Amino acid sequence: MQYVDAHGARIPALGFGVFRMSDAEVDAVVPAALEAGFRHFDTAQIYENEAALGRALALAGAQRDGLFLTTKVWVSNYSETRFAASVEESLEKLGTDHVDLLLAHWPGDQVPVAKQVDWLNEVHASGKARFIGVSNYNRGQLRQAIAASAAPIVTNQVEMHPYLDQSALAALAAETGTALTAYYGMADGAVPRDAVIGRIAAAHGKTAAQVGLRWLIQQGHIALSKTARPGRVAENFDIFDFTLSDDDMAAISGLARADGRLVDPAGLAPDWTA
């Protein structure tokens, strides 16, 4: 496993996400993920499977001090009365007294960034989150969050895949020492079907999905992989034994297009150009 270091956090570069997974799928796939070598698991309040993840990890005998657990606070809990209470509920569901990383899930258009950051800091100060970060923040919001936060903002979790140019955000992340965590790395199934990536994969004796994950990791980002099929988990983890050439990396990056963004919900997403 490789790691990404950001402001004192040492984060496994490859994580396992449980977005859009049922409890039954989580129960089935988490033991396979642990067996393959995954120790970084990513969930969220809105996924409604924190309890399933906590149960599956416990039943599999995973040692808490060997795990890196991330969850995210949903926007409906962005209030003085709900934020900290919702984190307590998340911890109870996960079966732990702290998470390694707590994120504000979306900036939304109702609560200022500074308030979201204040509440993240309160949870951090209580010891219930070792590190804090944000998700789906644009560059301006990331700068605001960093300036407003007492504790370091260690990551911004955002949509990242070959069809979306995130170079400007990556430059800001490098400037501020903030890690980028990539979700939707397979671009909703487009990466495994891509002819350019497929040719690169064949040259390395790998699958297109493995090359897509490797492309993210090799840029220094954290990548969240996902599969509900236990038989595919080991393939997702097997990306540390090859290196993409500069030409490979450029060819994959060259797939970016103006309409490449897939996730842009009204009322939650910011102005991505800001």
Q: Which of the residues are catalytic?
A: 47
3-state secondary structure the chain: CCEEEECCEEEECEEEECCCCCHHHHHHHHHHHHHHCCCEEECCHHHCCHHHHHHHHHHCCCCHHHCEEEEEECHHHCCCCCHHHHHHHHHHHHCCCCEEEEEECCCCCCCCHHHHHHHHHHHHHHCCEEEEEEECCCHHHHHHHHHHCCCCEEEEEEECCCCCCCHHHHHHHHHHCCEEEEECCCHHHHHHHCHHHHHHHHHHCCCHHHHHHHHHHHCCCEEEECCCCHHHHHHHHCCCCCCCCHHHHHHHHCCCCCCCCCCCCCCCCCCCCC
